[in-house]
Amino acid sequence: MNTDSNLAFLYRSPALFFSFTKLIAAESTRHGGVSPAPFSSLNLGINTADAPANVEENRRRFFDAIGARTDQFASSHQVHGTEILYATEAGRFDGYDALITDKPDLLIGVTVADCVPILMYDHEHQAVAAIHAGWRGTVGGIVTKTLERMQQQFGTTASQCYAYIGSCIDECSFEVGPEVAEQFEPALKRLDAHTGKGYIDLKRANLNQLVAFGIPMAQVEVSPFSTVLHNDDFFSYRAEQGQTGRMLAVIGLRN
């Protein structure tokens, strides 16, 4: 697994999951692919203007690097909502921003380029979740709703759950208007006294949902990386004015 702080490789693996040998968990970087600018180089996003052949080759490289196959993968066309799919087979679905599964040899994942990817593992019931949380999904409580769905589907308890909050836009870069800021509690937003601009901390907002469900802080890892501040290593929709690729954050259980 890649753990070096130098990100010149295809993916990172959360340290939180290292001791779980049956688990595959990774988030891609933008390195090691074949796509030209502005998608350079490991663009894994299907809904981009990049050539489909490039994305297919990039996905092949990424899944090969993490010890999996593209035909073992379930994902969805994301809509910035809070719908959750219980995935039982590989394929691309539509309208879901979170996926859960307890099926071995099935990877689930989400595409991101500033929004927050969250990967969760229920060690007791051998179940996993992958969540895409933009500001709308965060306000809608997608993390809480996914945990509640896992509780219903698998019997998930907070004490046996581990969660990784992945690389995304940082608080100092996520400027929002008042219509967005007003939907977040005061502790999650900051008003710059000099510019009058508002900023939201999406990592902390989703961390709060994990902790409120009861997951111990020792069982949560938060990526230190920012898609904006570390744009050389990650795609950022905002920093690159929409002309960029997408990363994948995936999780699954080996049989």
Map out the domains of the chain with their CATH numbers: 11-170+203-253 (3.60.140.10)
- pLDDT at position 3 is 41
Residue 6: pLDDT band with limits 50, 70, 90: very low
Q: Can you give the pLDDT at residue 197?
A: 87
For 111-122, what is each residue's pLDDT tens digit?
A: 999 999 999 999
Residue 7's pLDDT is 55
pLDDT of residue 5: 41
> pLDDT tens-digit profile of 174-226?
999 999 999 999 999 998 888 888 999 999 999 999 999 999 999 999 999 99
pLDDT computed for residue 195 by the predictor: 82
Q: Residue by residue, what is the 3-state secondary structure of the chain? A: CCCCCCCCCCEECCHHHCCCCCEEEEEECCCCCCCCCCCCCCCCCCCCCCCHHHHHHHHHHHHHHCCCCHHHEEEEECCCCCCEEECCCCEEEECCCEEEECCCCCEEEEEECCCEEEEEEECCCCEEEEEEECHHHHHCCHHHHHHHHHHHHHCCCHHHEEEEECCECCCCCCEECHHHHCCCCHHHEEECCCCCCEEECHHHHHHHHHHHHCCCHHHEEECCCECCCCCCCCCCCCCCCCCCCCEEEEEEECC
- Arithmetic mean of pLDDT over the chain: 95
Looking at residue 137, its pLDDT comes to 98
Percent of the chain topping pLDDT 70 = 97
